[in-house]
Structures are given as structure tokens and as C-alpha cells.
Structure 1
Amino acid sequence: MNISALAERTGVAPDTLRKWELRYGALSPERTSGGQRRYDSSDVARVKWLLDRLSDGYRIGQAASLLHRDFVPPRGPRALQRAILDAAEESDAAAIEALLDHAFAQPRVEVTFEKAIRPALVEVGDRWEAGTLSIGQEHLVSNAVRIRLERLLADSRPAVRGKVVLACAPEERHELGLLSLGLFLAGDGWRVIYLGASTPVRDAVEVAEINQAGLLGLSVSMPQHIKRLSAGLGPPARRGFSAVLGGRAASRGLASLLGAGYVGDDNRRAVVSLRKHGA
């Protein structure tokens, strides 16, 4: 069939089909001796598969990339979690990339994160501690998740609720929990300014003040890093923002000593709490 027939069968305009072919390599039609494109039923199936992925929330470039890998998306959060774990056990970097591309393309990525990605990260960590996964296998998953979270937070969004600066305590390098909170805050309408791991507190304060952020969120996971938090934060009365503390080593008592609010590891509750702090 020619391109007009393919367009009629799929509902995709000929110009769009050409763009998908030339820019993304999504189609590879045969050519006649005169250079005209010729398509068959497999091309119809490919276009319809791409349309399904677009309706799932993918961008065309992401969908075409998955198509090249013969990727079949898992159905449901539990299946996605199991697939990520299986890929980690096989050290299959391509599969991990495809699975996470699928997960982060979902319309409500926060829900997918809580129901599939976060449990997968916990299980990967548990298996590493048990010795059934190597450090390299754990890093394959955690680094791929971190890159995608950072990419999402880097997208400029309107500050509907205000601005929030997020940073890990000095010497603190466990940042996935803070990144996941940033994902939920961005979804709630905050403009997230993410500073990342091992940030001097004075620098985080300066960024918050210059950008007129309503909130400064600090994360500490290792007890040995707690003592570095107090230096540079300053007394509450002199701050132009509300400070909040979270992470595995944080507590309400520690937050109170620093004149800060406290958020636990439940991202949904944390978002509700931070609305009040930032009001």
C-alpha cells in the first residue's frame, strides 16, 4: 500500500508518517523503482502500536525508541516492579532503561513511582544487602531512576504554590528520597530548585534567599552528617523562608532543635504538610 492508504488505515496524516520515519526511524518502508514508499500490514501494526503509546502519555521519540527494542510494557505496577527486579538480576541495562522510560512516561508518574518504582528500589537495596545483587546491579537501577527524576525536576514549571529549594546535608549522598519528594512537590504545583547531594547549608540558604523560595528542604540519612546541619542555617527569626527536615536520620526532635519543620518518608503526607509550611 502507498502512504495515503497507510494514512487512511491508521488515521495518521501522511506528513506525520514521513516525519516519524525520517526523524525517529519508526517506519522502514520498501521503495519502488521510482522511489515511492510501499507499506504492508506490519507497518499498520507499528503505527497503531505507536498511537497506543502516545495515548499512554509517551512522546513520539520515547515510543519510537521502545519500538526499536521490541518492548512490551508490563501491565500494572506489580508487573512493572517484577520486571525491574528481573532486569536487575540479569544486569540488563537496556531493559532497565526501557522499563523506566515506560514508567516515567505515565500521566500520573507520582502514582507509578509510589506503587512500582519505589518498592522496586527498596527490594533492590534489600537484595544487595543480602548479597543476591551486586553493587553494580544496584547502581544500574538507582542511577537510572536518579537521572530520570533529575530530568523531570529540571523542567521549568510555573510556581503555582511557590518555590522550594531541596538539598542534602553536607557529605550526605543518599538523594533518591529527596528526589522523589521533589517529584511529588512538582506535581503539586511547586517550582522545585534541586541542589542535590552534599550541599553546604550556607549555600542552600543563599540559593533560597536569592530565589525568594518559601521553603528550604534539607535531607539527612546518615547520623554522622547531622552535626553539619546546624552550621549555616541561622535562627528562624532571621530566615526569609520556612525550613523543613527529612530523611532516615531526621526526627521531630532534631527538626525542633534546628527551628525547622519535620516531614516523614510518606511523600503524600509530606506534600500536605509542606503546603502549610509554605503558606
Structure 2
Amino acid sequence: MADQEGKYNIKAAALMLGIQPGTLRAWERRYQMIAPVRNDAGHRLYTEEHIKILKWLIKKVNQGFTISQAVSLMGHNQSQMDSEALNLKQDNPLISLTDSLYEALIHFEHERINEIINNLFSIFTMEKVIIDIFSQILKKIEDSFSAGKIVSAQKYFSLSLIKARVETIIHSLPINVHQNKALCINWSNDWDNIELLMFSFYLRKRGIQVINIGKFSSEDENDQILDMIHPDFVIICCGVQEELKDALLVVNHLTVKHKDLTIGLGGRAITAMKPSDKDLYSSFIFGQTINEWEIWLMERMVF
């Protein structure tokens, strides 16, 4: 019975688990995977069993699952939570399919590419395919190009095809005029900026309307576009170090003049910032993984 007694308040539980209290509240509200007991004052109290469940979920998230996938996995077989039944193994079709997709892309095999991608979507979730698998493929393409294993035409074809496929899926998702809006700015004008593309898909799947534009040329244009669109979020992605200073000036301007906006900041130039500089903008940086995105968004939205 001791495992069922409420022992830890939300601050203590969050500290034990290594997550923010806001994240824990958001997970409970959205997924109802546990039901903390309440003390006389109405405050949450977590039992040992709750902590055990939450530690298991966080372990799965750290292995690459989204929190929603981890909750679903727990629900399918809660009695065997500690098993690794869904871990990818060497004989898993994922490995052969991703290798086959890479080969088909660099050999311009349209029919084979579509066949493999359709197969991936039939086996894995849409998020798994787009955010995890496509990202891995495109990184392999980029690495191969940098190492001189493929030429620019192979890289361009591969990136163009996957980018078009993801954009088609993004545009096919239903739009609700009452959704929150995110204005996504690719500051570096880097057509193959995959991180912003993946984050745009993630936002659309979370019910946020996404409007992708280039970059602002002036503060006047900045304010004009904001007045026209009235976004709830402004997402700025900067991939080129030389462009970073101007991108950060826009962030500074937005925080002063548009205090109601939620600003997100990402891209390779942000990742490469010095720790001291990154600390100044830490509240804006949405991260590089779906787990980081999930935490960043849940701390800024009410679902």
C-alpha cells in the first residue's frame, strides 16, 4: 500500500524526474496517464507508483519515442513496461527500408522511392517517418555529399523530393480558422533547411496553422506582416553564422514591440552559438529533437 500513498508534491516529483513542473502538468492534462492524489489544499501528490510510471515514460522519450507514443506503448502492455519489445533491432524493417530509400534517392529511382516511402508510412506513424526517418536520411545525404560520395545533383534531387513530400502532407492537414498561427521565417534563405521544415510539420500536427515566409528586409516590413497575419508564434530559423546577428536583432525587436508574441529560435547557427550567448536566448530556443519541441511547446500553450 505504501506505493499508493501520495508522498511527493509536483516540485519534488519534477526534480526527481529531471523535467519542469509545467511539462509534467501538461502531460497529465493531455494524456491522463496518471491521476495524482490531492491533499487537503488541493495540491497534487505523487505516489511511488506514479514516479515509476513517469520514469518509464521519460526513459522511452529519451530513446526517441514521443510522449504520446510512449503513453500508447504503456497502454498496450502496462504489465511489461520495463520490456524493450519495441526497440529497433537489426532485423527490424526500418533499417532495410531506410537503406533502400537512400540508395533509391541517390540513383534517381522515382518509382522505387515512392514504393519505399509508402511502405514506411504503412508501418510507422507519420511523425516517426517525417521527423525521425526522413531527418536521418537527409543527414546521411548531407554527410555523403560533404564526404564526396555523391554529387550536388544527387543531393539536390533527394532534398527536393523529400521536401516536396513533407510540404504536401503539411498542406493536406485540415485547417481550422480558430487555430493558433505560427509565422515561420527561414532567415538564411537556405532552401534545404530541413530543421524548419520538420518543425513546421510538428506545429501543424499540434493544431497550429503555419505560414512560411522568407525573411524580413526591414523593421517596417516586419511590423506590416505581423499586423496583417496576427500570429501567436514567430519561429525564426537561422542556419548561417554570418546571418545570425541580423536574426537576433529581429528577435530583440519583437520582444520589445510585440510582447504578446511567443518567439521560437532554431537552426544550425543557433546550435553553434557560444554557451554564454546561447544563455541570453535560452527561453526562445526550441531545440533539435521532437522531445525538446514537445517540452518547449507545452510550456507555452494551453491544450
Do both share a fold (TM > 0.5)?
yes
Matched, 1:147 2:164: yes
Q: Deviations over 1:35-91 (max 9, x none)?
A: xxxxxxxxxxxxxxxxxxxxxxxxxxxxxxxxxxxxxxxx83222211111113423
Q: Provide the residue aligned with 1:244 in structure 2.
A: 264
Which residues of structure 2 form unaligned runs of 5+? 1-91
When Rg is computed on C-alpha atoms for both structures, the one with the higher figure is: 1
> How much does 1:246 deviate?
0.4
Q: Which moved more, 1:79-88 or 1:97-106?
A: 97-106
In structure 2, relative to structure 1, the CA distance for the partners of 1:86 and 1:235 (3 Å cut) is: closer
Q: Which moved more, 1:178-187 or 1:157-166?
A: 157-166
* AA of the residue aligned to 1:148: R
> How much does 1:172 deviate?
3.9
In structure 2, relative to structure 1, the CA distance for the partners of 1:98 and 1:113 (3 Å cut) is: same
Q: TM-score when scaled to structure 2? A: 0.58
> How much does 1:142 deviate?
0.8
Matched, 1:226 2:249: no
* AA of the residue aligned to 2:257: R
Q: TM-score when scaled to structure 1? A: 0.62
* AA of the residue aligned to 1:168: N
Matched, 1:277 2:300: yes
| Distance of 1:237 and 1:85 partners within structure 2 | 45
> How much does 1:169 deviate?
0.8
* AA of the residue aligned to 2:129: T
Residues 201 and 231 of structure 1 are in contact (CA less than 8 Å); yes or no, is this contact kept in structure 2? no
Aligned with 2:103 (options 76, 80, 86): 86
| Distance of 2:123 and 2:212 partners within structure 1 | 22
> How much does 1:147 deviate?
0.9
> How much does 1:157 deviate?
2.1
Write the mapping of 1:183-198 to structure 2, written as runs, cut at 5 A: 183-195=201-213, 197-198=214-215
In structure 2, relative to structure 1, the CA distance for the partners of 1:91 and 1:171 (3 Å cut) is: closer
- Equivalent pairs counted in the alignment come to 204
Residues 78 and 116 of structure 1 are in contact (CA less than 8 Å); yes or no, is this contact kept in structure 2? no
Write the mapping of 1:48-87 to structure 2, written as runs, cut at 5 A: 76-87=93-104
* AA of the residue aligned to 2:298: R
| Distance of 1:270 and 1:205 partners within structure 2 | 27
Residues 168 and 219 of structure 1 are in contact (CA less than 8 Å); yes or no, is this contact kept in structure 2? yes
Q: Which moved more, 1:166-175 or 1:263-272?
A: 166-175
| Distance of 2:222 and 2:298 partners within structure 1 | 20
Q: Provide the residue aligned with 2:140 in structure 1.
A: 123
Q: Give 3-state SS (helix, strand or coil) of 1:226's partner.
A: helix
Matched, 1:99 2:109: no
Which residues of structure 1 form unaligned runs of 5+? 1-74
| Distance of 1:190 and 1:258 partners within structure 2 | 23
* AA of the residue aligned to 1:243: I
Residues 163 and 215 of structure 1 are in contact (CA less than 8 Å); yes or no, is this contact kept in structure 2? yes
Aligned with 2:155 (options 121, 131, 138): 138
The structure with higher relative contact order (CA 8 Å, sep 6+) is 2
> How much does 1:265 deviate?
0.8
Q: Give 3-state SS (helix, strand or coil) of 2:299's partner.
A: helix
> How much does 1:161 deviate?
6.0
Residues 222 and 249 of structure 1 are in contact (CA less than 8 Å); yes or no, is this contact kept in structure 2? yes
Aligned with 2:284 (options 255, 261, 270): 261
Q: Give 3-state SS (helix, strand or coil) of 1:132's partner.
A: coil
Write the mapping of 1:25-44 to structure 2, written as runs, cut at 5 A: none
In structure 2, relative to structure 1, the CA distance for the partners of 1:160 and 1:111 (3 Å cut) is: farther
> How much does 1:274 deviate?
2.2
Q: Give 3-state SS (helix, strand or coil) of 2:149's partner.
A: coil
Q: Give 3-state SS (helix, strand or coil) of 1:193's partner.
A: strand
Q: Provide the residue aligned with 2:24 in structure 1.
A: none
> How much does 1:179 deviate?
0.6
Q: Provide the residue aligned with 2:127 in structure 1.
A: 110
RMSD (Å) for aligned C-alpha atoms: 3.0
